[in-house]
Amino acid sequence: MKLAIRGLDVDIGERSLCRGLSLDLHGGESLAILGRNGAGKSTLLSTLAGLRPIQHGAIEIDAVSIAALSARTLARLRGYCPQQQQDAFSASVLETALVGRHPHLGRWRWESGQDVALAQAALEQLGLDEMTARDVHTLSGGERQRLALAALLVQDPQLYLLDEPLAHLDLNHAIAVLELFAARVAATQASVIAVLHDPNLARRYFQRALLLFEDGSWLEGAAADVLTQENLSRLYAHPLHCLQDGATRWFVPHTADHNNIHPQQTGE
Amino acid sequence: MPSPRRVLLIMFGLLAASVASILIALAVGSFSVPPGDVLAALTGDTTSMGAEVVMKLRLPRALGTFGCGGLLALAGALMQVLLRNPLADPHVLGVSGGAAVAALLALLLGAGVAGVNVGAFCGALLAMLLVFGLAHGDGGWTRARLLLTGVIIASGCTAVVSLILSIAPEQALRGMLFWLMGDAAHITNPWPSLLLLAGGLLVVWPFARELNLLARGDQLAQALGVNVQFLRGLVYCAGALFTAGAVTTAGSVGFVGLVVPHLVRLTTGNDQRVLLPAAALAGGCLLTLADTLARTLVAPHQLPVGVLTALIGVPLFLYLLTRKTAATKDVR
């Protein structure tokens, strides 16, 4: 699977969010999108998912424009996890995970025992296997978020588009989810594009990073090259410090008590 | 998701209940026909006392009422998915309002049963096109816009209905009120509603799994490969047509379309593949039984069936709701 973005403009209403975005993403690669609130991260992600019309530019999967693909074909290529999960009607956890099988089942087929087994395996990977019969309305925010990710694993696409996958997750589950997707990318040659708010996790778990600036400009490259003190301070319009721990760099936002940090600890 | 065995069980149960409700409707009334005579009449024996009553009067009415109840329940289930709102019912988008205005105008002008029916159907179609056109606007329609447009058109129709009621002559009022509350007494030909119910179910059912996704949100459905715009159009048109068919047959019967989908949901879950056919059968049963009561409770007078649907439905629904809450508490 190869995703190619060529000269893509992303607009919302009258506002232009991102201009002339071009990049290639191959199977087995992961990309983190970072930016301030309202910078157009989610809009870009849903455009990549084919859920918004492309105003200018092109998005291709294996050299075919996603606009030319049927919704069903597209659903077998890419999976999309929106920022928020809304349940108007009650449904069990298992039923909700099983929706991921929809693009793989013919119109007249019902979910088989094999499909249920796939759903159960995905729920187990996200630590939800104890609550398959629970009503989604009784889940906590973090549990509901993990359920949405489980449904995405059941969908088994080649390109995962995750909009803030770590929202509502506690620390251990956030790390577990990142490791899970990193392992899946390595094992299946799938790709992941995720909107994140933590540059440290982006740097640790993603090979590449895309920064969306307020003025519509963007910067993309290897995570180690792009996620620097200078770029991140500009991105968030807030000074960041860089702490060196062996080979690993940690970015922390500047606060009043940072004056106590020794100068030699700040890198770059 | 209910197991296939449970689904079959539910469906057979509902089919048996449907047949039973129609047989009851044929046997019971101001002139009681023994079950043996009912079966004899149905199998072509016209010699018994009640054969005429069963075949000419009760059978068309029972079948028509069944079709009408099924249509209302089906339309309600579709509207609840389309609007992602458990409070939606067939009348929420103004289709019945349009039918009511046209039907009352026809009654005001002294039209017969056929004229009122044609008027109601035209009124319903007109309201359907109006809501669809206005909600569509220049961009695509959103749920909120569709719901608001429908509700506003419906209130406009209610005002016109009140206006007609206040200027109508005394002798026309009773007929008008019965039409508004839902009245099955004028059903002579059950086939339009039955055929619409069967045909409609055949058209909608193949999309049931996609409807499950639509109920979870447009974006999710689209991301999982559903052609959302097409499906929403289909559901709207189907729901509005079913409502138009039902109100044309038996006036504006309330409650069935709102409550039957919920009743079924409480027992079968929210899988539309089960819910849609089950709601159609359960709606038919409920309305047939309600109509039987409506013509027997204070016989020889007849009550409007819409009053009975609520009188049966409210306690039944509340019972199932409290039982369901107690059951889920035990599980946890």
DSSP letter for each residue of chain A: -EEEEEEEEEEETTEEEEEEEEEEEETT-EEEEEE-TTSSHHHHHHHHTT-S---EEEEEETTEEGGGS-HHHHHHHEEEE-S----SS--BHHHHHHGGGGGGS-TTPPP-HHHHHHHHHHHHHTT-GGGTTSBGGGS-HHHHHHHHHHHHHHH--SEEEEESTTTT--HHHHHHHHHHHHHHHHHH--EEEEE-S-HHHHHHH-SEEEEE-TTS-EEEEEHHHHS-HHHHHHHHTS-EEEEEETTEEEEEE--GGGGGS-GGGB--
Chain A touched by B272 (CB under 8 Å): no
3-state secondary structure (DSSP) of residue A241 = strand
What confidence score (pLDDT) does residue B137 get? 63
Question: If you count residue pairs, one on A and one on B, with CB atoms under 8 Å apart, how many are there?
Answer: 76
Cβ atoms B161, B180 nearer than 8 A: yes
Q: Name the more confident of A218 and A263.
A: A218
The pTM (predicted TM-score) of the whole model is: 0.89
What confidence score (pLDDT) does residue B45 get? 79
* Nearest one of A108, A50, A36 to A253, comparing CA atoms: A36
Is 60 exceeded by the pLDDT of residue A163?
yes
Chain B residues close to A110, C-beta within 8 Å: 4, 273
Q: Please give the radius of gyration of chain A, using alpha carbons only, rounded to the nearest integer.
A: 20
Beta carbons of A89 and B85 less than 8 Å apart: no
3-state secondary structure (DSSP) of residue B46 = coil
Beta carbons of B209 and A74 less than 8 Å apart: no
| Nearest C-alpha in A relative to B213 | A99
Chain B residues close to A138, C-beta within 8 Å: 332
Maximal C-alpha separation, chain B: 65
| Nearest C-alpha in A relative to B227 | A71
Is 90 exceeded by the pLDDT of residue A21?
yes
3-state secondary structure (DSSP) of residue B73 = helix
Q: Per residue in A248-262, pLDDT tens?
A: 889 999 887 655 555
**Shortest CB distance from B224 goes to which of A73, A103, A111?**
A103
Tokens 């249509």 correspond to B71
What confidence score (pLDDT) does residue B305 get? 87
Chain A residues close to B210, C-beta within 8 Å: 102
Give helix B228-250 / helix B191-204 axis angle, nearest 10°.
170
Is 80 exceeded by the pLDDT of residue A267?
no
Mutate to test the interface with B, among A47, A78, A99 (most CBs of B within 10 A): A99
What confidence score (pLDDT) does residue B2 get? 66
What confidence score (pLDDT) does residue A266 get? 46
Is 90 exceeded by the pLDDT of residue A141?
yes
Beta carbons of B86 and A89 less than 8 Å apart: yes
Cα gap A44→B209, rounded to integer Å: 29
Lowest average pLDDT, out of B82-91, B95-104, B228-237, goes to B82-91
What confidence score (pLDDT) does residue B300 get? 78
The dihedral built from the CA positions of residue B327, A154, A78 and B273, taken in this order, carries a sign that is: negative
Q: HSE, CB side, 13 Å, CA atoms: give it for residue B13.
A: 12
Average of per-residue pLDDT across B52-64:
89
Average of per-residue pLDDT across B139-155:
84
Lowest average pLDDT, out of A61-65, A71-75, B37-41, B79-83, goes to B37-41
Is 90 exceeded by the pLDDT of residue B50?
no
Q: Per residue in B301-330, pLDDT tens?
A: 888 888 888 888 788 878 877 876 655 544
Beta carbons of A82 and B220 less than 8 Å apart: yes
* Nearest one of B10, B116, B81 to B257, comparing CA atoms: B81
**Sheet containing A15-26: order of strands:** A15-26, A2-12, A56-61, A64-65
What confidence score (pLDDT) does residue B328 get? 52
Beta carbons of A74 and B217 less than 8 Å apart: no
C-alpha B310: how far from chain center: 13
Is 60 exceeded by the pLDDT of residue A264?
no
Average of per-residue pLDDT across B283-304:
89
B 97-156: CB under 8 A from A: none
Q: Name the more confident of B132 and B328.
A: B132
Beta carbons of B212 and A110 less than 8 Å apart: no
Q: DSSP for B191-219, please give it.
A: HHHHHHHHHHHHHHGGGHHHHHHHTT-HH
What confidence score (pLDDT) does residue B35 get? 82
Chain B residues close to A107, C-beta within 8 Å: 206, 209
Beta carbons of A76 and B271 less than 8 Å apart: no
Reported ipTM: 0.88
Q: Per residue in A45-67, pLDDT tens?
A: 999 999 999 989 999 999 999 99
Cα gap B179→B97, rounded to integer Å: 12
Tokens 């659903």 correspond to A75
Mutate to test the interface with B, among A85, A89, A111 (most CBs of B within 10 A): A89
Tokens describing residue B264 = 């079924």
Average of per-residue pLDDT across B53-68:
91
Is 90 exceeded by the pLDDT of residue B30?
no
Beta carbons of A88 and B332 less than 8 Å apart: no
**Shortest CB distance from A95 goes to which of B1, B220, B228?**
B1
Is 70 exceeded by the pLDDT of residue B12?
yes
First and final C-alpha spacing in chain B: 18
β-strand partners of A65 = A60
Q: What is the mean pLDDT of chain B?
A: 88
Chain A residues close to B220, C-beta within 8 Å: 82, 99
Is 80 exceeded by the pLDDT of residue A100?
yes
Beta carbons of B222 and A51 less than 8 Å apart: yes
Average of per-residue pLDDT across A114-137:
95
